[in-house]
Amino acid sequence: MLRSFLAAIAVLFAMVAPAAAQGVDPSTISNPQVGVAYSQTFTAPFPAFSFSQSGTLPPGLTFTNNGMSATLAGTPTTAGPYIFTINSSGMVGMTPVTGSRTYNVTVQPAVSAVPTLSEWAMILFAIALAGGAALYIEQRRRLV
């Protein structure tokens, strides 16, 4: 009888106690890349009913409050560093709880399909070495 009473008290306490880990998940997110579709979902470690965002989002990405979660999605258009905070609020039992997490992301530049000047220099150097090696081999053949 005492055990069931203590179990009932423990359940009741758990329903009104604030969540121990108040924040937003995940703790880190991947860096987006210009021109590449991106999507990240955010949740809270407690029953959340609202999410909001503050700070500067990368251009091309939009924040959507889905109620029990939130989404950052889109295609980034501008490379560089961005800092923003995701906030969540909810209830644990009859106790209001809030959480937040600040994210520091760097949108990576688009991958170039055309070689850069330094890449062209490496290509030409490799061709020159290959041509020099071919001449050396041909001269060795003639000597034998």
| pLDDT band, very low/low/confident/very high, at 12 (cuts 50, 70, 90) | very low
Q: How is residue 30 written in tokens?
A: 């991947």
- Encode pLDDT of 111-120 as tens digits: 877 777 787 7
For residue 75, the SS3 value is coil
- Interatomic CA distance for residues 35 and 96, integer angstroms: 40
46 touches 90 (CB < 8 A): yes
Residue 82: CB atoms within 10 Å: 19
Distance CA 88, CA 86 (A): 7
pLDDT greater than 80 at residue 95? yes
Six token digits for residue 55: 């700070």
Q: Residue 3 — very low, low, confident or very high, per pLDDT cuts 50/70/90?
A: low
**Contacting residues for 16 by C-beta, under 8 A, at least 6 apart:** 92, 93, 94, 95
The Cα 19–Cα 116 span in angstroms is 52
Q: pTM to 2 decimals?
A: 0.65
Per-residue pLDDT at 98: 92
Find, among 50, 53, 52, 54, the residue nearest to 67 by Cα: 50
